[in-house]
């Protein structure tokens, strides 16, 4: 019998579209309140260890200044407001770039500033060789969006594309340097969470994506590969009009195949599974909030049946483990994966798996 794989080996095998010993699992984010409830007051790393996730996610360290109740000013000059969830929202009305003149005066943070990689170094020391160490950064969409503010950014894509591309080019240079240094320090792969779509369609047209963003996105993916790392691209929403271009850019993985946006994980596996790994997509908007353990198990079995054969798959929620996720339903997901997710898959045992109807009926 072959020895059990490490989490690192499992995740990298999946990204290379191979079959590991079992389907890996990890989450981009887990809400701190959920973590505390499930670890008796512990932290995220306690959660990772207790529930045997196959990867840990870390970011470069950027300074934040508290400027009000749950409000912060980041090192990038972006004002953020924290609500119920871990991820704060940018305050568009206070975006730092309003014009070319603002951009010409703007100072991008130093990618090599002291302390920039302290958390990554801690993760490498604790987990290197045992779990995949994932660097979260940004690709080509989120920086211009947050620096200009959402509405002004979308208008600028049409009326001032040169400003948008200049912001992309200069912030991308920063991100590439972050990736290169992270690779030197021991990261295994890169993940970016720039959301490109809502549940109906992409936030920019395929024509605009191809003209403005795709050349820089291709450059970013190539830089990740040149650094010796693999890349998992995340975006919520209906990505179908952009998916061919994302895959053609050379991404190694796509996530989360958003079920509420009508993204069909079986179709994505069928049409793209020979070129890109898949992560997802147990619904976290309804199923992991108000479903039953039996429904969760059935959804896990469905995902395994349609996406796991042949490898190239990691099971996870359809976004993150947010504050509304019930711990017992997360456990039902994890336990079902342990029960059914070992290779070679027992396809007979997975035959009755199906997504819950109340998810499928959402607009």
Question: What one-character-per-residue DSSP string does 256-295 give?
Answer: ---GGGT--HHHHHHHHTTTSEEEEEE-TTTHHHH--HHH
Domain boundaries, the chain: 7-60+105-360
The predicted structure's pLDDT at residue 16: 98
The predicted structure's pLDDT at residue 335: 98
The predicted structure's pLDDT at residue 362: 55
258: left (phi over 0), alpha (psi -120 to 50) or beta: beta
Sign of CA dihedral 217, 239, 154, 245: positive
- 144 exposed, middle or buried (CB, 10 Å; 0-12, 13-18, 19+)? buried
Residue 227 to residues 109, 234, 304, Cα–Cα distance (Å): 21, 20, 32
Sign of CA dihedral 134, 139, 143, 145: negative
Alpha carbons 299 and 287: distance in angstroms, whole number: 9
> Residue 57's closest CA among 138, 131, 140, 141?
131
The predicted structure's pLDDT at residue 359: 67
For the chain, residues with pLDDT lower than 70 are 1, 358-363
The predicted structure's pLDDT at residue 1: 62
Assign a CATH topology to domain 7-60+105-360. TIM Barrel (3.20.20)
The neighbouring-strand residues paired with 277 are 253
Alpha carbons 189 and 318: distance in angstroms, whole number: 20
């Amino acid at each position: 019998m072959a020895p059990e794989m490490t989490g690192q080996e499992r995740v990298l095998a999946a990204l290379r579209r191979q079959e590991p010993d079992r389907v890996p699992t990890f989450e981009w984010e887990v809400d701190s309140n959920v973590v505390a409830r499930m670890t008796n007051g512990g932290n995220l790393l306690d959660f990772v260890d207790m529930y045997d996730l196959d990867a840990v996610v870390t970011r470069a360290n950027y300074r934040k200044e508290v400027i009000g109740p749950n409000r912060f000013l980041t090192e990038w000059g972006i004002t953020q407001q924290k609500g119920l969830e871990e991820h704060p929202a940018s305050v568009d009305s206070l975006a730092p770039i309003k014009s070319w003149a603002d951009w010409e005066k703007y100072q991008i943070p130093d990618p090599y500033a002291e302390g920039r990689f302290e958390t990554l170094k801690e993760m490498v020391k604790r987990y290197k060789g045992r779990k995949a160490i994932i660097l979260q950064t940004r690709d080509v969409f989120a920086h211009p969006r947050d620096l200009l503010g959402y509405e002004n950014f979308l208008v600028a894509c049409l009326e001032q594309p040169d400003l948008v591309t200049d912001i992309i080019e200069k912030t991308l240079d920063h991100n590439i340097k972050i990736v290169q240094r992270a690779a030197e320090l021991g990261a295994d792969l890169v993940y970016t969470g720039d959301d490109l779509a809502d549940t109906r369609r992409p936030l920019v047209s395929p024509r605009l994506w191809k003209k403005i963003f795709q050349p820089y996105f291709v450059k970013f993916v190539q830089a990740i590969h040149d650094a010796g790392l693999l890349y998992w691209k995340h975006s919520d929403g209906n990505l179908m009009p952009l998916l061919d271009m994302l895959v053609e850019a050379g991404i190694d993985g796509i996530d989360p195949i958003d079920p509420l946006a009508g993204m069909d994980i079986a179709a994505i596996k069928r049409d793209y599974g020979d070129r890109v790994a898949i992560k997802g997509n147990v619904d976290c908007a309804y199923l992991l909030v108000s479903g039953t353990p039996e429904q969760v198990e059935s959804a896990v079995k469905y995902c395994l049946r349609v996406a796991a054969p042949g490898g190239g798959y990691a099971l996870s929620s359809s976004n993150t483990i947010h504050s509304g996720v019930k711990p017992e339903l997360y456990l039902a997901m994890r336990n079902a994966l342990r029960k059914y997710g070992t290779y070679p898959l027992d396809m007979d045992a997975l035959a009755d798996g199906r997504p819950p109807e109340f998810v499928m009926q959402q607009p």
